[in-house]
Chain A
């Protein structure tokens, strides 16, 4: 029954008859948006629950927790979806698709939920950028064709690039101001001025802990720590992708596809 036996000589298993090719293309164009929206929903919820406040507010984006937590939480779905898209289709798009879907969900959420419904200024509530991390993760997987190499090289790059790519939008918020005789950053000031009733100042975790004690370069140390954890997370979620892909519904769809070809 397998389509593989049909391949003879230079003829590839991927050469479909014109009718089949047309149908297969329709299937592609149907599945891509559905996949995109499904990832948006699931990944966005996952991300909000685990990295929520750090990503919601400009005055939570510190040099330790934000830098550590965001890439660790953000590499999960990309790793799992990379497994499916790479192992079954050799499409190195898993990370980019996930991150674009996440950012799409975030912008929808920030615009409708935070700006329109709750009335917060967008300057307080913008999401962090992650696309550079995703592009590199996909490129590394494609070039090495190996998930272990991607875990060792790509996952740390994913984390190291996270803070670096956001400097360009975060820097203006770290200009100092004097307010009520005290030194504050503009980000602190934005958070102070626009009242979040349920998010008092002390809930922020600003550079707490001891990592900074060697050298003062908190952001760099946090990035390297995140890079290390991202290797583990990438591996774990790649394996989770493998488990998820064995689920019956996926299998039945592709078994059917194989039958169609036969």
Chain B
């Protein structure tokens, strides 16, 4: 019976221990499809995304640039981006962040951003772990989590052992951020392990449980702590305090200049309002999602307030691009796998002249609705969709307008 209990406890202990050892923080960001559609369709509209390359060597840099519009139709259930952080989504640190900028402001700290405004970002990363990694720009928003931009499969070539991240401190020391300080951490963990193991062995070397238990039961407990034990205990107590004092003093001497961790939430001015992000207005009259056809149809009135004739070129929602094959679209390098090249069908007179309001019936259809799990939007609490329409101007510029509204599913 005793053996049974012990082996059972032992088994449980070993399993529990090994499970905790395997706990790892979420390394991949590739829950991008598992996020509820409203979080992807009505929050951050990424556009003009550009990756400078799709293959880097270890220690080589890649630059990601682009813009995003923060949706005015921001869902009520999550907090506004009063605390937001420009970040990178990737599986583990396959690439290391070198620089991040938002509208020219360094993005090492968190930002307070405004809805309905556009922002321009620049992210520079450095190849670290060889292999293929899916890398995205990302905006973390407090309470909403990571809102992920278009991704790109990036090949990182070389050997990890070559990776370095050189930094020069303000005290003039050149360090490698990838390894800095760790040897010292290990050294001190080992130094402290010595008295700890001594203390464990000091007690475990003599008969432990049964005889001592019997003596305690018998009222003989005073015999169990000898005068030698007391002396060793005093030495241990004093030695520990002395070592702590000495080690901390030496560290303060060695590193006289120290600053606390730096953290702040800073405001950033948005990009200015221009005709390109404000001149075209859209009003949704009707929106349906046809489940068997995996297609969305919309009837809208478009008012062209710009000075040039425009044509609807693209509907973009949750990083999925539905483009109109009849109109040459701008060459953008968003992730190709989320591009329904022939997915946008426009009925009605395609060209809208300045000052004119035209009624368009558009259909955005592709299997991507299903594979990107956007069709589940009818399961959202408020069954609303969101996205951005991009118009191609005769002047060569792109005009954009955010749209959002309720959507009604049809089942046949």
Residues of B within 8 A of A253 (CB): 2, 5
CB distance from B199 to the nearest CB of A (A): 5
B109 within 8 A of A: yes
B204 within 8 A of A: yes
Which of B106, B181, B233 interacts with A123 by CB under 8 Å? Answer: B181
Q: Are A207 and B93 in contact (CB under 8 A)?
A: no
A205, closest chain B residue (CB): B263
Q: Are B25 and A198 in contact (CB under 8 A)?
A: yes
For the complex, give the distance between the alpha carbons of A92 and B257 in Å: 40
CB-contacts of B355-411 with A (<8 A): none
CB-contacts of A135-158 with B (<8 A): 135-136, 138-140, 142-143, 145
For the complex, give the distance between the alpha carbons of A239 and B205 in Å: 29
Interface hub of A27, A41, A187 (most chain B Cβ within 10 A): A41
B273 within 8 A of A: no
For the complex, give the distance between the alpha carbons of A127 and B335 in Å: 38
Which of A91, A129, A193, A204 interacts with B177 by CB under 8 Å? Answer: A193
Given contacts A28-B204, A197-B26, A253-B2, contact A123 B13 (CB under 8 A): no
B17, closest chain A residue (CB): A41
Given contacts A32-B208, A142-B230, A165-B248, contact A2 B217 (CB under 8 A): yes
Interface hub of B23, B145, B234 (most chain A Cβ within 10 A): B23
For the complex, give the distance between the alpha carbons of A42 and B219 in Å: 32
Q: Are A169 and B212 in contact (CB under 8 A)?
A: no
Given contacts A14-B207, A59-B261, A164-B248, contact A48 B23 (CB under 8 A): yes
B84, closest chain A residue (CB): A202
Residues of A within 8 A of B90 (CB): 195, 197
Q: Are A38 and B12 in contact (CB under 8 A)?
A: yes
B interface footprint on A248-262 (CB within 8 Å = 1, 0 otherwise):
010011101110110
| Selected interface stretch from A69-77, A103-111, A227-235 | A103-111
B interface footprint on A105-141 (CB within 8 Å = 1, 0 otherwise):
1011100111001111111001001011011101110
For the complex, give the distance between the alpha carbons of A204 and B261 in Å: 10
Residue count of chain A within 8 Å CB distance of chain B: 123
| Selected interface stretch from B95-103, B292-300, B305-313, B344-352 | B95-103
Q: Are A143 and B204 in contact (CB under 8 A)?
A: no
For the complex, give the distance between the alpha carbons of A3 and B215 in Å: 9
Q: Are A202 and B85 in contact (CB under 8 A)?
A: yes
Q: Are A171 and B254 in contact (CB under 8 A)?
A: yes
For the complex, give the distance between the alpha carbons of A25 and B213 in Å: 13
Which of B208, B248, B260 interacts with A28 by CB under 8 Å? Answer: B208
A100 within 8 A of B: yes
CB distance from A85 to the nearest CB of B (A): 9
CB-contacts of B200-225 with A (<8 A): 200, 203-204, 207-221, 223-225
Q: Are A42 and B210 in contact (CB under 8 A)?
A: no
Q: Are A249 and B167 in contact (CB under 8 A)?
A: no
Residues of B within 8 A of A182 (CB): 106, 108-109, 262
Interface SS of chain A = helix
Given contacts A45-B20, A143-B230, contact A180 B210 (CB under 8 A): no
Residues of A within 8 A of B180 (CB): 123, 172-173, 186, 190
Q: Are A126 and B182 in contact (CB under 8 A)?
A: yes
B129, closest chain A residue (CB): A119
Given contacts A165-B192, A180-B99, A202-B265, contact A258 B214 (CB under 8 A): yes
Residues of B within 8 A of A3 (CB): 214, 217-218
Q: Are A31 and B6 in contact (CB under 8 A)?
A: yes
A246 within 8 A of B: no
Interface hub of A3, A13, A40, A44 (most chain B Cβ within 10 A): A13
CB distance from B114 to the nearest CB of A (A): 17
Residue count of chain B within 8 Å CB distance of chain A: 119
For the complex, give the distance between the alpha carbons of A240 and B109 in Å: 43
A55 within 8 A of B: no
Residues of A within 8 A of B248 (CB): 164-165, 167-168
B412 within 8 A of A: no
A21 within 8 A of B: yes
Q: Are A14 and B215 in contact (CB under 8 A)?
A: yes
Residues of B within 8 A of A257 (CB): 209-210, 213-214
Residues of B within 8 A of A28 (CB): 204, 207-210
Q: Are B218 and A176 in contact (CB under 8 A)?
A: no
For the complex, give the distance between the alpha carbons of A48 and B251 in Å: 28
Interface hub of B21, B94, B96 (most chain A Cβ within 10 A): B21
CB distance from B340 to the nearest CB of A (A): 27
CB distance from B179 to the nearest CB of A (A): 6
B187, closest chain A residue (CB): A169
Residues of B within 8 A of A164 (CB): 244-245, 248
Q: Are B178 and A123 in contact (CB under 8 A)?
A: yes
Which of A12, A112, A172 interacts with B223 by CB under 8 Å? Answer: A12
Q: Are B263 and A204 in contact (CB under 8 A)?
A: yes
B interface footprint on A73-107 (CB within 8 Å = 1, 0 otherwise):
00000000000000111111100110110010101
Residues of A within 8 A of B92 (CB): 118-120
For the complex, give the distance between the alpha carbons of A56 and B25 in Å: 10
For the complex, give the distance between the alpha carbons of A226 and B158 in Å: 48
For the complex, give the distance between the alpha carbons of A201 and B146 in Å: 12
Q: Are A201 and B209 in contact (CB under 8 A)?
A: no
Residues of A within 8 A of B197 (CB): 100
A200 within 8 A of B: yes
A242 within 8 A of B: no
In the A-B complex, the 10 residue pairs with the closest CB atoms: A41-B16, A200-B140, A119-B92, A14-B211, A180-B106, A113-B24, A108-B21, A13-B218, A206-B263, A38-B13
Q: 24 pairs across A/B with beta carbons < 8 Å?
A: A14-B212, A48-B20, A58-B181, A90-B224, A91-B208, A93-B204, A100-B193, A100-B197, A105-B17, A121-B177, A122-B179, A135-B240, A161-B244, A165-B247, A172-B251, A179-B167, A180-B108, A186-B177, A190-B177, A193-B93, A194-B96, A195-B88, A202-B84, A204-B261
Inter-chain pairs besides A12-B218, A24-B210, A112-B24, 7 sampled, C-beta below 8 Å? A3-B217, A99-B196, A105-B17, A174-B255, A174-B261, A188-B263, A206-B261
